[in-house]
A and B are shown apart, each in its own frame.
Chain A
Amino acid sequence: MSKFSTLDKYTPTVGKYELLPFRFESLDNDDVVVTNFVGEFVILKREKLNDVVGKKLLPTEETYSLLRSRHFIKEASDSASIELLGLKTRTKFSNLRNFTNLHLFVVSLRCDHSCGYCQVSRQSENKAAFDMTEATADKALEIVFKSPNEAIKIEFQGGEPLLNFEIVKYVVLAAKKKNEVQKRDLQFVITTTLALITDEILDFCKEHKIYLSSSLDGPEDLHNQNRPRPGKDSHARFVEGLKKARDKLGYDSVSALMTTSPASLGKVRDIIDEYLKHDLDGIFLRHLSPYGFAIKTKSYKAYNVDKWLEFYCEGLDYIVELNKQGIRFTEYFASLLLTKMFSANDPGFVDLMNPSGAGISAVVFNYDGDVYASDESRMLREMGDTSFKIGNLHTNTYEEIFTSEALLNALDDSFTMSAPMCTDCAFEPWCGAEPVFHHAIFGDVLGRKPESEFCKRIMGVVKHLLKKMQNDPEAKDIFIRWANKC
């Protein structure tokens, strides 16, 4: 063996670089956003991008070290770049190994509200045929504890789950009993309007550490308009229920979600102010989805993606201004996207997962024993479309349910890394497959992305976030905080 390395080892490598895999997307005429293999990003002038690809970038330039540090380019001696990208890729997809975490129990389709945009097609209160039975709940729990995931979340959905609270109690007690042996990190959530909450229910929630996820659409008039119920007192009941629940369970045990109805447009600041009034620390500016009564009553068609984006961007800008004034308040949809933009962690939000989170991240047990790949899948079922029914608790095994053709085909066919347009899109690492939405609109799980409102919505929000960060360093600091929440 020679005492000296060969001559080529002494050849200077500085300034000679290779490209690592990256994608780019135009922001406006002059700027492009460039994302690497795992979604780390840099905004460049278009001419600079051409210089990068043409190997004209000089090592003395700031862009050179920026791109090298974020693994867009590598010098011959940078042997760690590829390994680091490999590790980050592994982290990004690590949720897949854990498999299903969220198990939704639709304990009743009955509801005391009659919202025009209801996406689950609720039934009137007195139809016990729409309640889950103990036999069905038992079967569902068998499936829950077959999940390999250490963390198990059971979420009770409706209709209004409190109308069948007996089965909620039954499931909680039975799950805890099973967990004495299983020792999982077990968590319960009830999705409720809070209109029917009682002291007895709250006592049970306190005893078993059950979180409450509620709904607040905005100020009283808007909320009551969106969420009609006998007595027209949905908002008042929410406010009263919120206070009671916070007093009993603690301040952070209750959260709220809003839905953007046609009546919400133009009122985003009022809606956010209402959230602040009730000391909620954030809002999810949620668009309507094309399911259930949202289609029947034409609510979904009443505004398009451009109108929603206008609503969303105004709201986001307002929230950023509030934060600048020292009011800590988060927009949760942005926060999900920003987590993906600023870290290798996947927040596990079903709509923004690839492969789709349907079945993998969440699964739905319907009141009648049918199993669906996601909440949206069971919403489609109430419209007569059972494409995403992946089995039945009474007739199928765990293995049959999670290897069903309905699930595997949807995951495979919608995979964004091989989908036309997505495969080249710089936003793909931050986006999701959303097979159920595309099936509902296009009749196939892939859909045509240039025509897809989902694609337009994600692109619109991401571009707004990027431009905001580019033009406003203070906004960027706020966004980084949202992305790195504990």
Chain B
Amino acid sequence: MKLIVEKNVYSLEAVEKSAYRFIDRLTILISTDNENIICEIEVVEGAKEGIENLIANFKRELLDQQLRKQIKHETESARNLILAYAFSRTGLQG
């Protein structure tokens, strides 16, 4: 089946990460056009859940990944500062 998501709502990175998390249950081929990201989805042989349930969970994962991306982006400078404090005066700075 095909799942189409809008590029201005979801990033390609969020779609890729979601697809990776489902790698044991879904095989997802990702492509893009001007406005959309297109996911061609097949259920992996032997998967315990039905496709409807899997797709619903995949959509939830898309939201989570988009949120993770937002948090990561917003906290990037804090993360770098924490690491700078953590490794200051260790002699590892070069």
Contact = CB atoms under 8 A, between A and B. Distances in A.
Contact of B24 (A20, A24, A90, A448): A448
B24 A450 contact: yes
Given A420-B20, A448-B23, A450-B23, A93 B78 contact: no
A207 interface: no
B86 A89 contact: yes
Contact of B22 (A20, A420, A450): A450
Which of B70, B75, B88: most chain A Cβ within 10 A? B75
Interface string A1-27: 000000000000000001111111010
Nearest to A37: B82
A424 B79 contact: no
A421 B16 CA distance: 11
B83 interface: yes
A421 B21 contact: yes
B3 interface: no
A58 interface: no
A343 to B, nearest CB: 16
A85 interface: yes
A47 interface: no
Interface string A425-451: 000000000000000000000001011
How many chain B residues sit at the interface, stated as a range, is 20 to 34
Given A19-B74, A20-B75, A450 B20 contact: yes
A82 interface: yes
B86 A21 contact: no
A87 interface: yes
A97 B74 CA distance: 31
Interface string A82-106: 1101110110010001000000000
B70 A22 contact: no
B65 A89 contact: no
Contact of A89 (B24, B74, B82): B82
Interface of A: 18-24, 26, 37, 49-50, 53, 82-83, 85-87, 89-90, 93, 97, 420-421, 424, 448, 450-451
Given A21-B71, A90-B87, 9 more contacts: A18-B74, A20-B75, A22-B75, A26-B60, A53-B71, A82-B81, A86-B84, A420-B17, A448-B23
